[in-house]
């Protein structure tokens, strides 16, 4: 698709990325989730800021994007479900997350806020990406085929209309947020 875009469209797209990135980084810093102590605090179950930020984002984003999709204003981009890769990759990611203390987005935000150690997490992220590219063919032929269910959505496996599923997930997130707020 990138090849069919004109030069003008490509540079517009890049400029939009920069603007959205600045807003995202600004919010991550203001939310405190660019701090090692707060990120580790979530893994030690001592600080729930990360969960509050993520769940609020999911609640608002889910409601908003599905509403816009209903009116035909946006296209959905659901992630493919590859159970084996999601689980193994997810656990490896978690181990790296605990060791570095940052995730890919919050690590960049941490560098912007002045945490020099996060710069090395960013270098590691580049190195690890290349390492994966080295074995990408092997990985997609093996792990990638385990439990490959395609672009499966919760609303595809729950026998209820999509709006009901969305409202239920939203209510569930609301309950969890209220409980987290009391802890």
Partner 1 sequence: MQRSWLRFWSVTAALAAAIPAAASGVELEVVPLRGEPAWSPYLVGAAIGVLSMLTFYFSDKPIGVSTAYARVAGMLGKLLAPRHTESLEYFKETRPVVEWEVMVLAGVLVGAFFAASGGGQLTGEWLPPLWEVRFGADSHWLRIATAFGGGALMAFGARLAGGCTSGHGISGTLQLSVGSWVAVACFFLGGMAVAMPLFR
CB of 26 to partner 1, least distance (A): 4
CB of 175 to partner 1, least distance (A): 14
Q: Which is nearer to partner 1, 151 or 175 (CB)?
A: 151
CB of 150 to partner 1, least distance (A): 9
Cβ atoms of 47 and 41 within 8 Å: the answer is yes
176 sits near partner 1 (criterion: CB under 8 A): no
Residue choice 58, 160, 172, 179 for contact with partner 1 (CB under 8 A): 58
CB of 161 to partner 1, least distance (A): 13
CB of 182 to partner 1, least distance (A): 14
Going through 63-105 in order, the beta strands assigned E by DSSP cover: 81-82
Binding mask 38-57 for partner 1 (x = CB under 8 A): x-xxxxxx---x--xxxxxx
Neighbours of 147 (CB within 10 A): 13
Q: Which is nearer to partner 1, 153 or 179 (CB)?
A: 153
Binding mask 66-105 for partner 1 (x = CB under 8 A): --x----xxxxxxxxxxx-xxxxxxxxxxxxxxxxxxxxx
Nearest in space to 180 (alpha carbons), one of 55, 58, 52: 52
Q: What is d(CA 66, CA 59) in angstroms, rounded to the nearest whole number?
A: 11
Q: What is d(CA 56, CA 64) in angstroms, rounded to the nearest whole number?
A: 12
Q: How many residues at the interface with partner 1, by CB under 8 A?
A: 128
How crowded is the C-beta side of 122, counted as CA atoms within 13 Å? 13
Q: What is d(CA 24, CA 21) in angstroms, rounded to the nearest whole number?
A: 5
DSSP bridge partners of 150: 81
Binding mask 138-157 for partner 1 (x = CB under 8 A): -xx--x-----x-xxxxxxx
Footprint of partner 1 on residues 121-140 (CB under 8 A)? Answer: 121-134, 136-137, 139-140
Radius of gyration of the chain (CA): 19
């Amino acid at each position: 698709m990138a090849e069919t875009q004109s030069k003008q469209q490509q540079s517009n797209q890049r400029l939009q990325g920069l603007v959205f990135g600045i807003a995202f980084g600004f919010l991550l810093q203001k939310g405190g989730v660019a701090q090692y102590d707060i990120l580790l605090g979530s893994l030690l179950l001592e600080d729930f800021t990360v969960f509050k930020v993520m769940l609020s984002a999911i609640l608002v984003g889910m409601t908003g994007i599905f509403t816009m999709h209903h009116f035909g204003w946006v296209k959905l981009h659901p992630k493919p479900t590859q159970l084996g890769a999601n689980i193994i990759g997810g656990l490896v990611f978690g181990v790296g997350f605990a060791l570095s203390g940052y995730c890919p987005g919050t690590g960049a935000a941490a560098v912007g806020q002045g945490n020099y150690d996060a710069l090395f997490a960013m270098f590691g992220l580049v190195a690890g990406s290349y390492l994966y590219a080295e074995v990408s063919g092997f990985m997609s032929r093996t792990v990638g085929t385990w439990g490959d269910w395609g672009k499966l959505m919760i609303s595809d496996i729950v026998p209820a209309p999509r709006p009901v599923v969305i409202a239920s997930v939203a209510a569930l997130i609301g309950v969890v947020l209220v409980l987290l707020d009391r802890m």
